[in-house]
Structure 1
Amino acid sequence: MIRFPYGISNFQRIREAGFLYLDRTRHIATLEEAGEQLVFLRPRRFGKSLWLSTLANYYDIKTADQFDVLFGGLEAGRTPTPERNSYLILRWDFSKVSAQGKIEQIKSSLFKHLNETIKAFNRDYANFLQSSVDIDEDALASFQSACNIVGSSGQRIYLLIDEYDNFANEVLVRDPHNSRRYQDLLEGEGILKSLFKIIKGSAAEGKIGRVFITGVSPLVLADMTSGYNVATDISQQARFNSLCGITQAELDGLVTNVLQHCGHEENQREGLLQTLKQFYNGYRFCEQMEKPLLYNPILCFHFLRHYQDECTAPRQMLDGNLMMDAARIRYLAGQPSGKGVVERILDEENTITLDVLESRFGVEKLADLQQDERYLLSLLYYFGVLTIVDTDMLGKLTLGIPNLVTRALYVEELRQRILPAPKDRIAVANMAEAFYQSAELQPLADYLEQSYFSAFNNRDYAWSNELTIKTAFLTLLFNDIYYVVDSETALQRRYADLVLMIRPSMRRYPTLKDIVLEFKYLSLKTLGLSGEQVRGQSRESLTQLPAVKAALHEALQQLQHYRDVLAEKYREPERLHCLAVVALGFDRVVWQGL
């Protein structure tokens, strides 16, 4: 059995206890060449902490006698660099700093964390230091003392900072309409700026030999630039694209091993890989399209560990540890331009492009964040809920949702905004569950007409179109427990609007249906009717209107093609239901099955 290191970011424990370790140590030599002070940004739960632990064990002067045990069989063990095991390691984890309370409370939490790590540093390296570090109530003084004593002892510090932006970003997200606390942390002689000035000065004096900083976004970095303007950001350098994350080749080997453990046939391999690809793949962190797309490691371990233990896929594809990302989407969607951006992102027919990713924006740009979607889109990229999918003919970046797990976060955000009352969301979930088993659209259509459409404001009505209707159905029907839910699914170079195909592990439940929906939208002006006239007619009479008949006919012709393709692929035509749906303004819905 593979011992998956789910939630374990301690390199030494992983290596000594025989957990799976995907070797990234070939990057160590390249990192040494890249610079002495580096910044590496990646989304949450992507393996950054494990990489810091790897660096700590490789460079720590105390682990020299364990080098062969820890790095034997790894690339760094075969070709070590001259700097191995030559530093005193000081590591900070800013995710442990509380963002609660006023600025003095945050400062106290930061100072407590710094002092605790400096005390441990003083204790661990006592044999390498000429004297003890003075621990002061002011942790900045403690840090300065540590740097001075290390320098006078003829040693050098390798400073590792994990989640450098965590608590500052939490301050911002928790209090989006009042950035004062955030500004107090970073502006003028703010705590973080002062701290990084000491880092910069101590590095210049040779007391700190190397610095490696991880985080999620460059927002905080921009605000402390004047205090720390010497770091090289390697986040988008193509050579480090796969420093964190799982590659396709690595996943292929893991899936093969898990299937063999369960005694499952090789013919199940392709379906399993396809599920993992649809839900967890799609991340690219550079502009070179030839670089491989990456999988989210913690999600893959969540899935594979469950499969290995139970010999079936987990019921929930989204690991609860990633639900915190929903708060960041909610914060950005709450900006004045945010809701429109979320809806555009879900529209796969129209691509989203950026000239460049914004990388040096600070708190002074918050006004732009509220109005300029370039900043919103860039932050969504850094949070890992958008990724680089292509470049256009002018070299602009095309951004898109990386996978279905991430799409679920966007859909849930829209669902929360359109259906804020829990009782409404429960009612819709019950109607959707009935639809999955019957493909009978009437209860959902009645709900759309009577309740859901009223949630759209006048602006939505003025700009309503086929996309708006598709988004409404996507919001109501999205369910990644039972389905692979996709919009604009490619079916032999033609695209279906919304496809709900039963997940391979759920096909054993015979009542579930495969469902394909094709949408058409007719404005009241096109129909030559008022909203009151449309609402006053039965669905049967509306279906006989010439424009409606034509729209249904066109949709049914498209559905016939999709049905042929899907029936051949899944070999269960009796479970496949295809529905042509026509919206008449935001007033009525009619449909016809194939």
Structure 2
Amino acid sequence: MENLLNLPIGIQSFSELRTRNMLYVDKTQPIHRLINTGKYYFLSRPRRFGKSLTLSTLRAIFEGKRELFKGLWIEDQWDWCQIHPVIHLSFSSIGYRELGLEQAIRQELMSQGKYFGVTYSQQVSIAVMFEELIQQLAQRDGKVVVLIDEYDKPLIDYLDDIPLARANQQVMKTFYSVIKDCDPYLQFLLITGVSKFSKVSIFSDLNHLFDLTFAREAVALTGYTQTELEHYFSPYMQEVGENLGLERPVLLEKMREWYNGYSWDGRTRVYNPFSILNFFRAGDFRNFWFETGTPTFLLKLLREQNLYKLDSLTVHERTFSSYDIEYLQAIPILFQAGYLTIKAKQEFGLYTLDYPNSEVRESLRGKVSRRPTPESVGRH
């Protein structure tokens, strides 16, 4: 079909998305609500679920780029004269594998300082550099917005090398330790990641960091609801339905079975954005999200803990906080990484976990069903 907006597969920049005639599912209303109801936030969501785009959207709002929001909900709901300097850090792109985490952060802070015209004191730690960057910006340009994406990447990448993960954990704890004392200089802060493990120790000084992971106002902040899917993707459905020979009701039901089902409250369910965008681009039902990367350490962990059946698991809410790099437990990692989701909330703090959809179920079953031999089990 002609005149369809381009599908933003892999696009994490709100500015690029809006200036290149790409489809944007309008999330500015829940984003606006976050800005107006709190100051310090943490959000955990699986990979490729819209976290980076959310931060990029927040950046554009706080930088006052009204032209990018034409036609969106927030356009006439925000004071666009309210502009703040934005420190936007993404731990997936700072080169910690090559440089080491501390040196990579130092290099990124130098780059940020150069961009903002900030000069640091000589021979100071990364924590002091971060503090000086925030303070100098606030004193010159007004209160600062801090957006940190994929905070846990330097941990997740080394879960098969615990000593290095532990060292990175300490670097991160030191780095974040200055945020609380910078409160007078901060307007807003949001930290995102895949997992919550180590959250308590890394952010031990940030006891006022509100966790959005299960919060009502964030259940549909990322991902696509059924209503959003049917509204924004209706023109694409017509083309794909014709090519596949499926009537709209049948197509919708099959899409729901394949890609829907993620939930953080047991009621609101959303589609994986990456899978949906790729589905409409490919015009066929395929395994998109799962094949983008399942860490081998996770498959090994499932086998070590003898977890081969993951359907309808009953867990206590304490399970969601069982994140310790020294004693990894598969279930909380599977949940945070998106391989399991909340199907229902029971009484007495109990939850039912299950695969979110067919895409994940069939793929993960195929990976873990290859039971190791008795000899290999003995070697664990």
Q: TM-score range by the shorter chain?
A: 0.7 to 0.9
The CA deviation at 1:255 is 4.8
Does 2:279 align with 1:303? yes
Q: Distance in 2 between matches of 1:53 and 1:200?
A: 23
RMSD: 2.8
* Higher RCO, Cα 8 Å, sep 6+: 2
> Number of paired residues?
372
Identity %: 24
SS of structure 2 residue aligned to 1:329:
helix
The 1:226/1:366 distance shift into structure 2, 3 A limit, reads same
Q: Distance in 1 between matches of 2:350 and 2:290?
A: 33
Q: Distance in 2 between matches of 1:357 and 1:324?
A: 27
Cα deviation 1:16-49 (Å, max 9, x = unaligned) = 2221010111113321244211001100000000
Cα deviation 1:321-366 (Å, max 9, x = unaligned) = 75323435325325x42xx22x121xx4xx3111205344453x73
Note the residue ranges of structure 2 that are not aligned, 5 or more in a row: none
The CA deviation at 1:154 is 5.5
2:345 to 391, 394, 405: 391
The 1:183/1:227 distance shift into structure 2, 3 A limit, reads farther
Q: Distance in 1 between matches of 2:254 and 2:297?
A: 26
Residue 28 (structure 1) aligns with: 31
Residue 89 (structure 1) aligns with: 86
1:155 aligned partner, one-letter code:
G
The CA deviation at 1:75 is 1.3
- Is residue 340–residue 353 contact of structure 2 (8 Å, CA) maintained in 1? yes
Note the residue ranges of structure 1 that are not aligned, 5 or more in a row: 123-131, 308-312, 370-374, 419-454, 460-594
Does 2:366 align with 1:412? yes
> Runs of 4 or more off by more than 6 Å in structure 1?
none
Residue 333 (structure 1) aligns with: 302
Q: Distance in 2 between matches of 1:142 and 1:393?
A: 47
When the two structures are superposed, what TM-score results if normalisation uses the length of structure 1?
A: 0.58
The CA deviation at 1:249 is 1.8
Does 2:6 align with 1:52? no
1:96 aligned partner, one-letter code:
S
Moved more, 221-230 or 381-390: 221-230
Residue 247 (structure 2) aligns with: 268
Does 2:178 align with 1:198? yes
Q: Distance in 1 between matches of 2:60 and 2:175?
A: 25
User: Highest CA radius of gyration, 1 or 2?
Assistant: 1
Q: Distance in 1 between matches of 2:74 and 2:62?
A: 11
Q: Distance in 2 between matches of 1:355 and 1:328?
A: 24
Does 2:47 align with 1:78? no
2:83 aligned partner, one-letter code:
S
2:335 aligned partner, one-letter code:
Y
Q: Distance in 2 between matches of 1:271 and 1:263?
A: 9
The CA deviation at 1:219 is 1.1
The CA deviation at 1:264 is 2.5
Residue 309 (structure 2) aligns with: 344
SS of structure 1 residue aligned to 2:26:
coil
SS of structure 1 residue aligned to 2:207:
coil
1:39 aligned partner, one-letter code:
F
Q: Distance in 2 between matches of 1:332 and 1:71?
A: 44
Residue 323 (structure 1) aligns with: 292
Does 2:336 align with 1:382? yes
Moved more, 104-113 or 242-251: 104-113
Matches within 5 A, 1:133-532: 133-134=119-120, 138-153=125-140, 155-171=142-158, 173-175=159-161, 179-186=162-169, 190-203=170-183, 206-261=184-239, 264=242, 268-287=247-266, 289=267, 291=268, 293-307=269-283, 313=284, 317-319=286-288, 322-327=291-296, 329-334=298-303, 336-337=304-305, 340-341=306-307, 343-345=308-310, 348=311, 351-363=312-324, 366-367=326-327, 369=328, 375-392=329-346, 394=348, 396-418=350-372, 455=373
Cα deviation 1:175-212 (Å, max 9, x = unaligned) = 2xxx22222233xxx32111111122112xx1222111
